[in-house]
Chain A
């Protein structure tokens, strides 16, 4: 599970153009793991068509 998560995390960092190592990578990984449940909720939401982006 942790290995899978690290693999996914590293892939997302690469996609974002981040090349981190050591403590920065460790701390960002912890923060990213904390954020995942919120992101899952965000991505699971299906806004109605009239819910256009805030302008």
Chain B
């Protein structure tokens, strides 16, 4: 096979399959071969579903032979964060407690992917219960950053980021409660999309905080994320948060360009801050110039309650504690030492703290709604700094400095995407972030694509020759 799917984004794989330049079985075998070759170092998969994937790929090829192609995901190999259920397959949530847990039915998003003809390659590494720390040891290591294997890809959807960035799948799904899609996507040069809360079902997805959890795509390109979202978005009777889901034509509008879009730059809170890495700042400011040149207008805007957003986010950890309280009491040894205090922390918020947070959340919503009367989208740097070395991750705490870039947007449930916009002096990816109105994920993706199509950051690939310890 002359064509290597590992060099392609999801769109490239989809188009190659459509042109019959490659079969789904060939693509699947190539990814499986790369997993076998590289994942001992990269640690991105917890469970490789080789037999399942090859059977699905064979069925997809047979259908294509008969002239039936279900859509852009037909035969495309995808990875799932290991908190998304696939019936009959182990689902660990990165936890020793669930080391032998086998899901009895597919998650809604899994079902949608199967119905679209996608091939599930395997279950991807993650931070323990979507809230632990990066780990290279133990039963469930969390993955190494393919841009520098001494660094973490951040988390918690760490394996999803590593596998998609390293070409060990064509795209992946992750989940995001305070930045767990966008953080690792930013650290690995991917597009990471946290859809509007209520657009994508979480049924069959293990929770971190029910009120803030989102499932979304992590891919090399914006079109790729639009294609995945098109399939996984929609009403699911098993997840009441999706009752009001408004699905748009993401692929149909993704090429509409930036002209005429009004962008608000959240400069005070996100750009003019001492902790922001100079390379991230410089790349983001250059990206804003590119968007202006593409016909968008940019205005500085502010939402004062951003200052309180981390204080308002943390009390939701009461939800995490509630989910784990019994297991923590009865089987504390089932949790890593580094995770236990983070979960216990949820017990120390009072009911009044939780409700105060809910009221500040409402205040924040009103402020941002007012901004969206003046602008169509909000833009700002996608992260505080490029990827950290494993040893530089704090042992405790809530990482409020870095989470300020992502967690406020979980509080509001608004669509948010990171898109690569440069590299640091050390060659590490950096990103901008775009936030839109609720259920207007299409405009978020449209601006991301407008930026992407006049830049080449998304085409850069990490070098497999560096994947050694």
Contact = CB atoms under 8 A, between A and B. Distances in A.
A46 B345 CA distance: 24
Contacts of B397: 30-31, 34
B359 A51 contact: yes
A24 B359 CA distance: 32
Interface string A20-49: 100110011011101100110111010110
B341 A28 contact: yes
A53 to B, nearest CB: 4
A19 B362 CA distance: 35
Contacts of B8: none
B312, B396, B398: residue with the most chain A Cβ atoms closer than 10 Å:
B396
A12, A24, A27, A30: residue with the most chain B Cβ atoms closer than 10 Å:
A27
A35 B398 contact: yes
B396 A34 contact: yes
A23 B332 CA distance: 12
Interface stretch (B98-106, B200-208, B349-357): B349-357
Interface residues of A, number: 27
B311 interface: yes
B400 interface: yes
Given A24-B341, A54-B362, A43 B356 contact: yes
A13 B341 CA distance: 12
Contacts of A12: 348
Contact of A38 (B314, B332, B341): B314
Given A24-B341, A42-B356, A51 B363 contact: yes
B395 interface: yes
A30 B398 CA distance: 11
Given A31-B396, A35-B314, A42 B347 contact: no
Interface of B: 308, 310-312, 314-315, 332, 337-338, 340-342, 344-345, 347-348, 353, 355-363, 365-366, 395-398, 400
